[in-house]
Copies of this chain bind each other. A is one copy, B any other.
Amino acid sequence: MAQKPSIPKGTRDFNPIEVAKRNYIFDTIKAQFQHFGFQPIETPSFENSDTLMGKYGDEGDRLIFKILNSGDYLSKVDNKYYLDKDSNKLTPYISEKALRYDLTVPFARYVVQHQNEIDFPFKRYQMQPVWRADRPQKGRFREFYQCDADVVGSQSLWQEVEFVQLYDAVFSALKLEGVTIKINNRKILSGIAEVIGAQDKLIDFTVALDKLDKIGEEKVKEEMLSKGISKEGIEKLQPLFELQGDFSEQIVALKAILSVSEEGKRGIEELEFINTAISELKLQTANLQLDVTLARGLNYYTGAIFEVSAPEGVKMGSIGGGGRYDDLTGIFGLKDVSGVGISFGLDRIYLVLEELNLFPETISESIKVLCINFGEAEALTCLKAIKALRAHGINAELYPDAAKMKKQMNYANKRAVPYVVLVGESEMSSNTFTLKNMANGEQQQLSLEDLITTLQ
């Protein structure tokens, strides 16, 4: 019975060139993670529902993909739950497992579960897919990879410094020059809220401030007012809207604003430490920029907050983000484990590299050489040469059928093979190989040794 095949909405097939490009990004990030001493872990695709539910808010709970129990799963459901026919009520009785929603909660679970095997501070990276039952739209998928690096078990600010360096190292290695690493600190936001008498409205305050770029100063002020922040408080914010100059100059202005807030001052100290160290160490191609409006996931972060934006001129949301969180593992009963981490937005980085034409040209080259198949004896001769080529690390293949020359050359062209090898009667008798350069059409007659040397 034939079916018209398709895949679920929000999911993707990746063809060979797409996989090669994605792996180029993964491998580049992974190499830098390793240079920085991060170690890989992997966790299962699905976790016990208990592990995930309630960790991402109500909206998150709804977006978690639940796995139906196996076997006769209804036989264990009491009629008193069943007959109401209420999806929310029934779910916990017919589903005990759920697909990973992010890498952070599974990491927290991992740290707590394996705390006795781990040497702290634990620097781990993880690159695995996550799943969200989100409404699919351009650039938003139901299955996508996350790439996270975190350190848990130390409060040292050197780690914030290293994460700035790590972002710089990765984007420089990807030749994506000129990204902006924006940094802020939760303590500064808390301090400002304190100064304007809006401690109890920290979230409303930061949500409004976060929109400054998009809606402008006046609208931000209106929103704050509508949320119950006093007119006097908002007036005290004026220097914030007028922040100018480089990192150090902005710090000076912030010090003035926050002079009466202990927490705010601690936030400034932290930022200064990081900025001074980075000035000494220097970045390769990225810029570090203070952005007091940056708030992402505020409930979660307790110190530094990071976000990376693409080079100027490229329209794209953030391509990375992260920060310090002081109680990641508390949800699983392990208190006082401070962590700091960053993540890379693979799909967006892919789009940026594509837009700026930054993928290496050789990425679409799957084989270096295709041997044309002229018949059994010739094919065997080719396979002997191919064996030697592969032993020298050269990707090579034989066209499997003795098809018409035109068909075989067509295949070589479609696969963008840079060279073909032709072995016919004359080559067989002279023990040579004709190598054709597909770019310029030039042909050379070579011994096996020279063939290997030329292709290497």
Contacts and interface: CB of A to CB of B under 8 A. Distances in A.
A70 B156 CA distance: 42
Contact of A12 (B44, B70, B400, B411): B44
Contacts of A380: 277, 280-281
A366 interface: yes
Interface stretch (A114-122, A188-196, A349-357, A435-443): A114-122
B5 A20 contact: no
A4 B50 CA distance: 10
A336 interface: no
B41 A16 contact: yes
Interface string A370-386: 10010000011001100
Interface residues of A, number: 113
Contacts of A63: 70
Interface in A18-71: 19-20, 23, 32, 34-37, 39-48, 50-51, 62-63, 65-68, 70-71
Interface stretch (A215-223, A236-244, A388-396, A425-433): A388-396
A137 interface: no
Contacts of A414: 119
A143 B44 contact: yes
Nearest to A46: B8
Tell me if A's interface is mostly helix, strand, loop or mixed.
Answer: mixed
B13 A151 contact: no
Contact of A383 (B72, B77, B277, B373): B277
Given A39-B16, A42-B14, A333-B2, A400 B87 contact: no
A15 B114 contact: yes
Contact of A35 (B2, B14, B70, B393): B393
Given A8-B97, A65-B67, A394 B35 contact: yes
A85 interface: yes
A19 B41 contact: yes
16 contacts: A5-B109, A8-B44, A13-B43, A19-B40, A36-B397, A37-B367, A37-B397, A45-B45, A45-B129, A45-B143, A46-B143, A68-B94, A72-B87, A123-B397, A151-B400, A158-B398
Q: Which 3 residue pairs of A and B lie closest in terms of their CB atoms, listed nearest first?
A: A2-B333, A37-B397, A11-B44
Given A5-B112, A7-B44, 12 more contacts: A2-B331, A3-B50, A7-B47, A7-B113, A11-B44, A15-B117, A34-B366, A67-B67, A67-B99, A79-B85, A121-B401, A281-B383
